[in-house]
Amino acid sequence: MGSALAGGMLARGARAAELRFVEPNAAQRDKLAARFPGAIVHPQCDAAAIAGADLIVFAVKPQYMREAARAAAPHLARSQAVVLSIAAGIRVADLARWLGGYRRIVRAMPNTPALIGRGISGVHAAEDVDAASRARCTAVLEAAGEIVWVTDEAMLDAITGVSGSGPAYVFYFLEALQRGARELGFSAADAHRLACATFDGAIALAKASAEDPATLRAQVTSKGGTTERALAVMAEGDVEGRIVAAVKAAADRARELGDDSGKD
């Protein structure tokens, strides 16, 4: 995800020389150097890696966040940089504690389409973050897609349930649609094309229309027709209710993981 953000920034006019990476793994350092010629790649988070930075992005897995933050903490004492964390579930209070009390922190919860610049991120800023720092974070995150700011940090768990985990729900439905096409006699390739094009077209129509999804669904559903029968089958299984329950379950799990991640 860090590479996706860097690539998006370069596509928007940033210079590679303005970027610095910290990567302990030698093989990964070589890959970063090859992908971003001119960028500086450090083997560890030291004073040189942080000096003069106005934005520090922690793009690490949650289980490594404590170690990464504590390595950076001694070098932040005189810094005015804003820290942007995209580690799922790591709360501002816990990150601030690991950073030795540093609280200029913004949290973001992106999703995997950010890897191709089509994602959406929920974003929350701690009270110590000023407007200029929020703008810097916005510029970086918008390179990977859309963003939604939330004033209540707890809403990031809800965003995890909706859009963070959401691509998996879409892929799950795509699997089912492709399976239906295969069982009706289509090849795997044609089933994939039919399912993906159907999703692409429906989403494009929903975004272009002033109508809500319920109205658009009704417009496709003729009385006594094929769509009505298909939707009746879904209603019998309470598909809508189960999807809502799944979103809430993912949000609950995000809260649980946040509780666990903050334990020292």
Tell me if the pTM is above 0.75: yes
Strand partners, 114: none
Backbone angles phi, psi at 56, to 5 degrees: -120, 120
Token pair 């389409």 is found at: 113
Backbone angles phi, psi at 185, to 5 degrees: 110, 0
Report d(CA 75, CA 31) in Å as an integer. Answer: 26
Report d(CA 125, CA 148) in Å as an integer. Answer: 12
The predicted pLDDT at position 12 comes to 84
Residue ranges and CATH numbers for the domains of the chain are 2-152 (3.40.50.720), 166-257 (1.10.3730.10)
The predicted pLDDT at position 80 comes to 85
Per-position pLDDT tens, the chain of length 264: 888 888 888 888 889 889 999 999 999 999 999 999 999 999 999 888 888 899 999 998 888 899 999 999 999 877 889 999 998 889 999 999 999 999 999 999 999 998 888 999 999 999 999 999 999 999 999 988 999 999 999 999 999 999 999 999 999 999 999 999 999 999 999 999 999 999 999 999 999 999 999 999 999 999 999 999 999 999 999 999 999 999 999 999 999 988 888 776
Q: Where are the alpha helices (DSSP H) in 88-238?
A: 92-98, 131-141, 155-159, 166-183, 188-208, 213-220, 226-236
* DSSP state at residue 250: H
145-180 pLDDT per residue, tens: 999 999 999 999 999 999 999 999 999 999 999 999
Give the type of residue at 219. Answer: Q
Both ends of the chain: CA-CA distance in Å? Answer: 26
